[in-house]
Amino acid sequence: MQNIKKSRKFVKMVNGDIVNIPETIKTRFSSYKYNEENRELRVECFKCHQQFAIYKLSADNDWEDIHSEVEYRYVRSKGYGTYCAECEGQQTKPNQTKVACALVNRRKSYELEPENQKYLAHRAIDEDISITQLLNHIISNERRLQPRGKLIEKRCRSK
């Protein structure tokens, strides 16, 4: 089984040939694996970790789309989904929505609403970065738009 990575968007064949992965795969490269035995490119569900065959490599090294929309959805603008159809269809129970994730720092922890936690997880996967990197990016952009000096001025005016 060969892992696909952002820096390694190809499959290396036994004879040494290199075959690029299909262009329809745009994000979350670490979720894709190439099975040499079946000559299949598989995608892994983020939640249940089950793998689904989406492409088969023909004898002349062309990719054939074999994915099933019943198992795993493909969206033209985004590529393959993060979850398989079964996990995507599962509804959260009402009492589970109150549970929040704490982002822990060396000194502080922050409680996130479940919707924000899920958003961060999905966006981090789509951008192929960690949640920490994503949060730093979001905060940097916010600081650029709202410099600290402006915040202090607002506080002084309101008093």
User: What is the per-residue burial (b if ≥16 Cβ within 10 Å, else e) of 115-134?
Assistant: eebeebeeebbeeeeebeeb
Tens of pLDDT along the chain (159 residues)?
A: 787 877 878 888 888 888 888 888 878 888 888 888 888 989 888 888 888 888 998 888 888 988 887 787 777 667 777 888 888 776 454 444 444 455 554 556 678 888 888 888 888 888 788 888 888 888 888 888 877 766 555 655 655
Q: For residue 128, what are the CA distances in angstroms to 6, 61, 108?
A: 8, 27, 26
pLDDT of residue 2: 82
d(CA 83, CA 142): 30
CA distance 101 to 96: 11
The alpha helices in 42-130, defined as continuous H runs, are: 85-89, 114-127
Under a CB-based contact definition with an 8 Å cutoff, are residues 66 and 53 in contact? yes
| Residue 60 confidence (pLDDT) | 87
The model carries a pTM of: 0.53
pLDDT value for 91: 47
pLDDT digit string, tens, across residues 113-145: 888 888 888 888 887 888 888 888 888 888 888
Contact by Cβ (8 Å): 2, 12: yes
3 φ/ψ sector (left φ>0, alpha ψ -120 to 50, else beta): beta
